[in-house]
Amino acid sequence: MNNDVYIARQPIITLDKKTYGYELLFRSIENDGLESAKFGDGTIASTRVAVNTLNHIGLHKVVGEDFAFINIDSELILTDAVLSIPKDRFILELLETIKITDNMLERIKELKKLGFKFALDDVRCSPRFMENFKPIFPYLHILKLDSTLINKNSLECHVEDIKEYDFKLLAEKVETQEDFDYFKNLGCTYFQGYFFSRPNLIKQKVLDPIYSEIFKLINLLDNESAIEDISDAFENSPDITIQLLKFMNSGTLPIKANIRSIKHAIALLGRAPLKRWLLLISFSKSKTAVDGMRSPIIVLAQNRAKLMSELASRLVSHDLNKDEASLTGIMSLIDVITDTPIEEILKELKVSNSIKNALLTHSGDLGTLLELAISIETSDTKKSKEAVDMLNISNEHLNASILESYNI
């Protein structure tokens, strides 16, 4: 079913009031149309923010070139899914509910060595709080002081105690000029709060993939299945494929090549990163999620991709690649799925020129193939015959391709 995803973002500014980053917060819209920040599971809320940012809205649209701050709880940090969060663009805010066990401390050290940056959220500066989190102080990038939770008299003493560490201080929930001046004089480098800006809401229309299909892909990767089998599974899940393309074009990966097919995308990303990315999506979904009826648009994209792949494999006299044809079929409905003009989408996605031309102008053999698929779906016999003649495909091959495309 179609859904709208929401992210609230609140700027984090520097001493000279320039933007350093944004804290990204989970939001939903209730039945009465009012915005809500309620969510019972921290892992799901955090991963939904990450998935919505990377796979749906786009990191650049949300934070530009600045840092994205995202909450992370003790469950998520211990999984491989966290490795799919781009370490050079995100700062992970450790929640104050995290228990600093030996296992947790080793995990934070490990991720720090990999290049991840950490902030400690909602710091109270009470003796008990400071003693509990002191073991991770050497691995923090930022300490977030909550102005509503701390005693200013005891705070100055604690600030002196922590000057030996390399982290910067961030004052959050700053609401007045007096607050800003106080924390600036205290030595804070960054600031966040209503004094500068309230969180603003970003909305994007998306299509949520069926839960079981995510785990089917994960299982294929776990079983070291052939890339053809993994590619086929992606072809049967256009919604996940579209998310993959958006993720790979989010600007967080060192990928310069234009993507030619699903196989090409998998090869560029690699199996282990692909599995971590799928895990991230799985965490972002409700643990009680069940399979629902498939969206008709997704079924159409699935059938179109299969039909174009089958046709391309039989057109040996034309320079057509069945994997490229399949990806074109999936992407031909991406504008309907995301409610975004195809021209805007293609500005963000690195795909081959032949795919771009087929989608924008239906030009080239790939574009003619797309015309044929659409004309078959709409029973437009005139356009179908024109496309068949241009491709010089026999009725035998055409009928075989149509029958095979429904054998999904």
Tokens of 231: 């590619």
Of 30 and 369, which is predicted with more confidence? Answer: 369
Of 150 and 231, which is predicted with more confidence? Answer: 231
269-305 residue pLDDT tens:
888 889 888 877 777 764 433 344 456 677 778 788 8
For position 105, what pLDDT does the model report? 95
Are the beta carbons of 30 and 21 closer than 8 angstroms? Answer: no
∠ CA 311-312-317, nearest 5°, is 110
For position 292, what pLDDT does the model report? 43
343-370 residue pLDDT tens:
887 877 778 899 999 999 999 999 999 9
Q: Of 157-161, 311-315, 354-358, give the range with the top mean pLDDT.
A: 354-358
∠ CA 26-30-31, nearest 5°, is 160
For position 69, what pLDDT does the model report? 95
Are the beta carbons of 125 and 158 closer than 8 angstroms? Answer: yes
For position 170, what pLDDT does the model report? 93
Percent of the chain exceeding pLDDT 70 equals: 85
Q: Shortest CA distance to 131 belongs to which of 108, 163, 100, 154?
A: 100
Residues spanned by CATH 1.10.3210.10 within the chain? 208-405
End-to-end Cα separation, the chain, in angstroms: 21
Q: Shortest CA distance to 100 belongs to which of 78, 81, 122, 80?
A: 78
For position 287, what pLDDT does the model report? 42
What average pLDDT score do residues 322-330 get? 87
Q: Is the pLDDT of residue 139 over 90?
A: yes
Residues spanned by CATH 3.20.20.450 within the chain? 2-204
Q: Is the pLDDT of residue 308 over 50?
A: yes
Q: Is the pLDDT of residue 42 over 70?
A: no
For position 211, what pLDDT does the model report? 64
Backbone angles phi, psi at 30, to 5 degrees: -75, 175
What average pLDDT score do residues 221-247 get? 86
For residue 178, what are the contacts with CB-CB under 8 A and spacing of at least 6? Answer: none
Query: Which segment of 9-18, 184-193, 275-284 scores lowest on mean pLDDT?
Result: 275-284
Global model pTM greater than 0.85: no
pLDDT band at 39 (very low <50, low <70, confident <90, very high): very low
pLDDT band at 57 (very low <50, low <70, confident <90, very high): confident
Are the beta carbons of 326 and 352 closer than 8 angstroms? Answer: no
CATH architecture of 208-405: Orthogonal Bundle (1.10)
Strands 168-172 and 19-29: unpaired
For position 107, what pLDDT does the model report? 95
Domain 2-204 has CATH 3.40.50.1370: no
Strands 19-29 and 2-14: antiparallel
For position 30, what pLDDT does the model report? 45
Q: Is the pLDDT of residue 245 over 60?
A: yes
For position 360, what pLDDT does the model report? 93
Mean residue pLDDT of the chain comes to: 82
DSSP H/E element including 287: none
For position 1, what pLDDT does the model report? 41
DSSP 65: T
DSSP 259: B
